[in-house]
Chain A
Amino acid sequence: MKILVAVKRVIDYNVQVRVKDDGSGVVTENVKMSTNPPDDNAIEEAVKIKESGKAKEIVAITVGEEKAQETVRKALAVGADRGIHVKVGGAIEPLAVSKILKKIVDKEKPDLVFMGKQAIDDDCNQTGQMLSALLNWPQATFASKIEIKDRKLEVIREIDEGLETIEINTPAIVTCDLRLNEPRYASLPNIMKAKKKPIEQLNASDLGVDVSPKIQQLKVEEPPKRKAGIKVSSVAELVQKLKNEAKVI
């Protein structure tokens, strides 16, 4: 079995994001960047499947600017066999990413495509579902457990009401939830080895995909700030304030 894992480079989840003064976006200069957290879960799951002997090859792919390659390099250090970097400049929408991924899927013919359920920058939660639609493949979104049963996958999905189990035939798309597994850290020897693994570089235009945005970002602003609150000194004072001042209980 062959697994394609899509990863995205985003502002690190620990960074307090700041909006640019001119309202054109958020500050990304000199800000720590990392792999989108649930994409780390996607890589981890693929590596675990390969370690169990059920997959032969893991290909990591990213779509983005020059430096996005770092996320592929990290995936290689964790256990992916080779990488693909499709270069695009500037922001790219999930629909365009899914069209690029479809071209790669047509060429690579993976049995499974894994990715995080949502990118923590644009919070769109679209790419996996869109790719499934374009391929007309089954989709298992928000996966917190994956079991491989021959040519089928049993997937537990996290939904608002609790948990849902579905069975999907491969080839299929799985979008990974943060509780799917505990992503490992790359060891130093593996980081060194990853430097020798190949990363194929392509341009979106080589693939014949139009990546021009269909959504115009008119402005980006700070959300309204909350008024500073107060500290209370006792539980009795808290309950009194909730009852008589805030009038919520």
Chain B
Amino acid sequence: MSVLLIAEHNNKELKAFTLNAVTAASQIDSDVHALVIGNNCAEVAQAASELPLVKKVLTVEAAYYANFIAENFAPVVTKLAGNYTHIVCSANTFGKNLMPRIAAKLDTSQVSDIIKVVSADTFVRPIYAGNAFATVKSTDEKKCVTIRPTSFDPCDSSGGSAPIESADAGEEFSLTKFVKREEIKSDRPELGTARIVISGGRGMQNGDNFKLITAIADKLNAAIGASRAAVDAGYISNDHQVGQTGKVVVPDLYIAVGISGAIQHLAGMKESKIIVAINKDGEAPIFSVADYGLEADLFEALPQFLEELNKLNTIQK
């Protein structure tokens, strides 16, 4: 058995969640090979080779791999698939977009978004927005699996020295063209990996009021999240959405402000270690998952919260 792990990167660095995916891959089988498809991405291949759990790195480079178009990536993976029993990557928008295209070509029923490896063919995955956990066994000869990164710890990132080999590029798929990517640059920790997340919902009333959340995020070195309602209303951009169809976060501390707690939002945050809810509606469902609930008007509570934080001598970052 060997596992082919598709690395997610930006042609310069490995994306943090690739480390979590490597951990999951190594639980399936110890012979993990990392596949880096990109353009001018030698530094990424080098970083992948330094992961102690990775036994070999394969790189495939071409100009048309620069923007991670699934139609270009899938044939590269299916061509290499013969040597592997499992193909694995993270279940974020990169992997969700790519893996089914590979699975269909291999005539494999994909196992999406696993949270646990039971054995090489059996996995646990959440269904119905995490309201149920299904244990499933794949009977396909070749298995395509996407993993929920927040359910696996990141692997060590240094000390390894796996050999790096290059593999052949495939043909360009000319019917899909990349136009542009608008990435929201921020100095804050990434939402998916932040130790503390503070999120706002419809109760924020407008985008300008998110400055109350920003001030606290600055103080706590926290990432900023949002409910779907807040994103739909245009208060904040889509990359902040936490929930069933947004991002799944598992921080040490999750602070939900003005979020009622729809099932779909809870799906994205209820595994957080400590949950705080601030909401003026005492009956809001968010309180059912909160370790600490504060029934209060957020426009009074948030400035007080900042004031109390300012009084503390030390804050863990």
Chain A contacts to B: CB under 8 angstroms: 11, 13-14, 16-17, 19, 26, 38, 93-95, 98, 117-118, 120-134, 137-139, 141-142, 144, 154, 157-169, 172, 177-179, 213-223, 226-227, 229-232, 234-236, 238-239, 241-243, 246, 248-249
Contact = CB atoms under 8 A, between A and B. Distances in A.
A19 B275 CA distance: 25
B101 A248 contact: no
Nearest to A128: B100
B9 interface: no
B304 interface: yes
B175 A19 contact: no
B110 A126 contact: yes
Looking at B127, B273, B275, B304, the one whose CB has the most chain A CB atoms below 10 A away is B127
Nearest to A247: B316
A222 B130 CA distance: 9
A248 B176 contact: no
A133 B312 contact: no
Interface in B203-244: 220, 228, 231-232, 237-239, 244
B83 interface: no
A183 to B, nearest CB: 13
Size category of the binding interface on chain B = 35 or more
B129 interface: yes
Interface of B: 69-71, 74, 92-94, 96-105, 107-113, 122, 126-140, 173, 175-184, 192, 196, 220, 228, 231-232, 237-239, 244-245, 247, 252-253, 263-264, 270, 273-276, 282, 287, 289-296, 301, 304-305, 308-309, 312, 315-316
B181 to A, nearest CB: 5
Q: Which 10 pairs across A and B sit closest by C-beta, in order of nearness?
A: A129-B100, A130-B104, A133-B104, A214-B109, A126-B100, A229-B291, A165-B179, A239-B308, A235-B304, A138-B176
Contacts of A16: 131, 263
A58 to B, nearest CB: 23
Contacts of A14: 263
A230 B239 CA distance: 31
Contacts of A232: 292-294
A242 B107 CA distance: 50
Given A144-B238, A216-B139, A236-B308, A126 B316 contact: no
A59 B128 CA distance: 28
Contacts of A120: 128-129, 244, 264
Contact of B245 (A11, A124, A177, A218): A177
A223 B264 contact: no
A13 B312 contact: no
Nearest to B181: A164
Nearest to B237: A162
B265 to A, nearest CB: 12
B181 A133 contact: no
Nearest to A142: B93
Given A138-B71, A141-B97, 6 more contacts: A118-B245, A123-B126, A123-B129, A130-B103, A222-B131, A223-B133
B100 A216 contact: no
A248 B108 CA distance: 43
Contacts of B93: 141-142, 157-160
A128 B137 CA distance: 23
Contacts of A216: 136-137, 139
A131 B101 CA distance: 8
B97 A123 contact: no
Contacts of B178: 164-166
9 contacts: A95-B104, A127-B100, A139-B70, A139-B176, A178-B228, A221-B132, A222-B132, A231-B287, A239-B309
Contact of A229 (B97, B104, B239, B292): B292
A180 to B, nearest CB: 11
Contacts of B181: 159, 161-165
A129 B290 CA distance: 37
Contact of A219 (B74, B134, B179): B134
Given A95-B109, A166-B179, A218 B289 contact: no
Nearest to A171: B175
A156 to B, nearest CB: 9
B292 A121 contact: no
A214 B139 contact: yes
A121 B130 CA distance: 10
Contacts of B112: 123-126
A234 B300 CA distance: 11
Given A129-B104, A179-B238, A235-B294, A248 B130 contact: no
